Amino acid sequence: MSGNSPGTVASVRTVIRGVGKTCIAAGLLILLFVAYQLWGTGIAEARSQRELKRQFNALPGVATPPTTTPTGVAATRATSPTTLPPLPPAPTGSAVAIIRIPKIGVDDAVVEGVGVEDLKKGPGHYPNTPMPGQVGNAAIAGHRTTYGAPFYRLNELSSGDDIFVTTRDGTYDYKVSSSNSVSPSDVAVLNPTLDAQLTLTTCTPRFTASKRLVVVSTLISAADPRPSTVRASAPAVIPGDTPTPAAAPAAAGVAVGSLSGQGASTAPAVTWAVICAVVWALAWVAGRRWPRWAAYALATPVFLISLWFFFENFARFVPANL
């Protein structure tokens, strides 16, 4: 009767131990990445918000209190021609407004654009829609669970709740009129309107990107008399959806955006992954020559910093979640 040799048993145990350690390390990395997504991204968003608010407060005319104007839904329509020229489109990534929603504690600067990098900074204005306060369907997107989660409680809004948006031309008061969920491909919610309204979009349910929560509100103060200026149309995708080459062209005035990171370069993520692996390998080698605690104590801060940058770049390739 033959049995396993001691060498074979030792080899099997070594393999099992190695697989176990690999699984533990992978699980720890996944937990760290989840923590980064839920809390770490808020650090960068808070820094961006401070800069955006400083930018916005420096815009010409912002410090001047707006003139009192009549209120009422009728005032949101363009009732007479205006000779005021339209403002040029704001540069992508710049501060264009402050949105306040008292019921859910939102008080954030709004950035121009709904691309990956734009929405990392805060709520983003769809470039192909009018500015808040203008006649038409102004639209703003925001994250639901990451990057500060400005729209985390958007589902709590109901008919009659106030939304205030301050632009360089004044503060505009909107009243919520409806809230519903739609498919990510249902870009009709961004179509132009005759009255001045504000459409807020985010992902729903929380921690998924399967649908979009859409909150529509109507301007009850006087609209900005300037003609609206929007950017050229592009393939219609509500942020959070993964665009494909087959995406249909948008109707005039419909904006686009994607948080999928599709088309982004893989080089930064690969580079930081290699750096993390090298740091950990050097720590392992050093731990075999010197006291292990000292080697890992020196390597851990460097590894965690490298891991942070890896997570920042790797996040662009994870299915988007507003």
The contacts of residue 136 (CB under 8 Å, 6+ apart) are 129, 130, 192, 193, 196, 197, 228, 253
Which pLDDT does position 65 carry in this prediction?
42
Q: How many CA atoms lie within 13 A of 282 on its CB side?
A: 12
Which pLDDT does position 51 carry in this prediction?
95
Can you tell me the distance from the alpha carbon of 191 to that of 176, in angstroms, rounded to the nearest whole number? 18
What does the pLDDT look like over 252-307, one tens digit per residue? 333 444 333 334 568 888 899 999 999 989 988 888 888 888 888 888 999 989 98
**Residue 79's domain spans which residues?**
44-219
Which pLDDT does position 262 carry in this prediction?
39
**Residue for token pair 């994607």:** 258
Can you tell me the distance from the alpha carbon of 98 to that of 107, in angstroms, rounded to the nearest whole number? 7
- Catalytic residue selected from 203, 226, 276, 316: 203
Active site residue 125: no
* 121 three-class SS: coil
- Catalytic residue selected from 143, 144, 168, 226: 143
Q: Using an 8 Å Cβ cutoff, are 174 and 164 in contact?
A: yes
The β-bridge partners of 125 are: 112, 140
Does residue 4 lie in a domain region?
no
Token reading at 307:
């891991």
* 127 three-class SS: coil
Does residue 164 lie in a domain region?
yes
DSSP symbol at 236: -
Does residue 231 lie in a domain region?
no
Does residue 24 lie in a domain region?
no
* 314 three-class SS: helix
* 28 three-class SS: helix
Does residue 276 lie in a domain region?
no
Active site residue 288: no
Which pLDDT does position 110 carry in this prediction?
97
Token reading at 157:
């809004």
Which pLDDT does position 280 carry in this prediction?
87
Which pLDDT does position 3 carry in this prediction?
59
Does residue 173 lie in a domain region?
yes
The β-bridge partners of 134 are: 224
What does the pLDDT look like over 100-130, one tens digit per residue? 999 999 999 999 999 888 999 999 999 999 9
Backbone angles phi, psi at 39, to 5 degrees: -125, -40
Active site residue 23: no
DSSP symbol at 266: S
- Catalytic residue selected from 125, 144, 168, 212: 212
Does residue 287 lie in a domain region?
no
Token reading at 76:
């949101």
Does residue 23 lie in a domain region?
no
Residues of the chain scoring pLDDT < 70 = 1-4, 7, 61-84, 229-265, 317-322
Which pLDDT does position 62 carry in this prediction?
67
CATH of the domain at 96: 2.40.260.10
DSSP-assigned states of every residue in 48-98: HHHHHHHHHHTSTTTTSPPPP--BSGGGGS--S---PPPPPPPPTTSEEEE
Peptide bond into 102 cis (omega under 30): no
DSSP symbol at 174: E
The β-bridge partners of 204 are: 211
The domain total for the chain is 1
Can you tell me the distance from the alpha carbon of 161 to that of 320, in angstroms, rounded to the nearest whole number? 29
What predicted TM-score, i.e. pTM, was given to this entire model? Answer: 0.74
Q: How many CA atoms lie within 13 A of 260 on its CB side?
A: 15
